[in-house]
A and B are shown apart, each in its own frame.
Chain A
């Protein structure tokens, strides 16, 4: 079974631009979570989608948004990019939600550099 895939793997943008990242979960998984990883803050939760609805959101400004499609694929969008948005963005999918067996499987990430 294919793992979680993320595209693109690398992105370079300039301040003020916007960017869209894509995540395809493992087949059959309906929950998709997004995380931002930076050297200073570590791994921080952005949001979680389940059945096309955002169920949980972390403490990020409204410039960060996302959506999930009927096939469970998810996208996240960052508008008006700032230098501090440079990070590794990781997507994770899980089969079971809110249970002790809820295991999150991560993709390889998208490395975003903002110049």
Chain B
């Protein structure tokens, strides 16, 4: 059974610092891993998708890495801004779970001005 863990559960940094968010999963039989952002009471916004054959993906200030063999992914956000304050969730799509994303509990990020 796939289990997804995100550490830390909460993080507070001053504006301008780099953010490092961690995600681990127990079963390496995955199609891909997605990182999402969720603002309070809102839906999920897809940030990055890393295919199982890829090692990293980049979009603007965001960079995500994937080490499938060790079951780990890291999301880096460079030069954080107060607008980056949100909950960040990682989710894996298993090869035996049609349409089912398995989510971590999320990391709540606060960027202080």
Contacts and interface: CB of A to CB of B under 8 A. Distances in A.
Interface of A: 4, 31, 33, 35, 42-43, 45, 48, 50, 55-56, 58, 88, 90, 92, 94, 97-109, 111
A102 B31 contact: yes
A90 B43 CA distance: 7
Contacts, number: 74
A88 to B, nearest CB: 7
Contacts of B41: 88, 111
27 contacts: A33-B101, A42-B104, A42-B106, A43-B101, A45-B101, A48-B100, A50-B98, A56-B97, A56-B99, A56-B100, A90-B43, A90-B44, A92-B101, A97-B99, A98-B99, A99-B31, A100-B52, A101-B32, A101-B51, A103-B34, A103-B46, A103-B49, A104-B93, A105-B46, A106-B44, A107-B43, A109-B42
Contacts of A55: 98-99
B12 interface: no
A99 B93 CA distance: 9
**B interface, how many residues as a size bin?**
20 to 34
Nearest to A43: B103
A105 B100 CA distance: 13
Contacts of B106: 42
Most interface-central of A48, A50, A104, A111 (chain B CB within 10 A): A104
B103 A42 contact: yes
A110 to B, nearest CB: 10
Contacts of A45: 100-102
Given A45-B102, A92-B101, A99-B31, 8 more contacts: A42-B106, A56-B98, A90-B44, A94-B99, A97-B98, A100-B32, A102-B93, A106-B44
B94 to A, nearest CB: 10
Interface in B36-50: 36, 41-46, 49
A47 to B, nearest CB: 8
Contact of B99 (A48, A88, A100, A109): A48
